Chains A and B, each alone.
Chain A
């Protein structure tokens, strides 16, 4: 037998290399597909952040769509001629809109530059409340909408979930079932609320 191995050692080396290649293909290559899946999750997460601007805009669009109808309805009784004349009306609407944010400004007439700076922080928390769910990795705009319909709008609610609650919500997530546990929403929400960014990034990657 030793002679057989000595005579055909190159065949044994080739067999060993083939075995190693097959093992690498089975074990290391399947690991690669896992990484690809994780990349897809990140890809889902990044559009979610971009969509924050889109999600922010509907309230503004809704407000705009609510305001203009007020003038056509008022003009409807007057007639089309006046309706065409009503085109200057939109500027009037625009003029009406600013007074609400600047309503606080007149008290600070001495420093007009303060008005935008005061208005900006007020505007920032509002979208944060509606979009903070999207800070969870693996939770995109569609899931956020679905959660909103279930009455879940804040990270604090998710952070407070127990197993029973997770099962209850998970059952209503349709094709997204299993995401809560797979992506560790509760843990993510707790870390995000605590503001412990290093711990979060260590566990779930860059924010």
Chain B
């Protein structure tokens, strides 16, 4: 596996981790807002 591909995969995984953290912080409670 070329090193650039390995780096790219790791970067994508990190990006996905950032998305997951953001979802936990801002997105998880959204379903509770719909009433009202």
- CB within 8 Å of B: which residues of A? 1, 4-5, 8, 11-12, 15-24, 26-28, 30-31, 34, 184, 204
Contact = CB atoms under 8 A, between A and B. Distances in A.
Given A20-B21, A21-B22, A22-B22, 19 more contacts: A1-B10, A5-B10, A8-B7, A15-B15, A16-B18, A17-B18, A19-B14, A19-B16, A19-B22, A23-B20, A23-B21, A23-B22, A23-B26, A24-B22, A24-B26, A26-B22, A27-B27, A27-B30, A204-B36
A19 B26 contact: no
Contacts of B16: 19
Contacts of A27: 22-23, 26-27, 30
Interface in B1-36: 3, 6-7, 10-12, 14-23, 25-27, 30, 33, 36
Contacts, number: 72
Nearest to A7: B7
A21 B21 CA distance: 10
Chain B interface secondary structure, helix, strand, loop or mixed?
helix
A34 B21 contact: no
5 contacts: A11-B7, A12-B11, A15-B12, A18-B15, A26-B27
Contact of B10 (A4, A19, A21): A4
B14 A16 contact: yes
A189 to B, nearest CB: 16
Given A31-B26, A31-B33, A23 B19 contact: yes
B16 to A, nearest CB: 7
B11 A15 contact: yes
Given A4-B6, A11-B7, A22 B26 contact: no
Contacts of B33: 31, 34
A184 B23 CA distance: 30
| Those 9 A-B pairs whose CB atoms lie nearest each other, nearest first | A19-B18, A23-B22, A27-B27, A27-B26, A15-B14, A19-B15, A20-B18, A16-B18, A28-B26
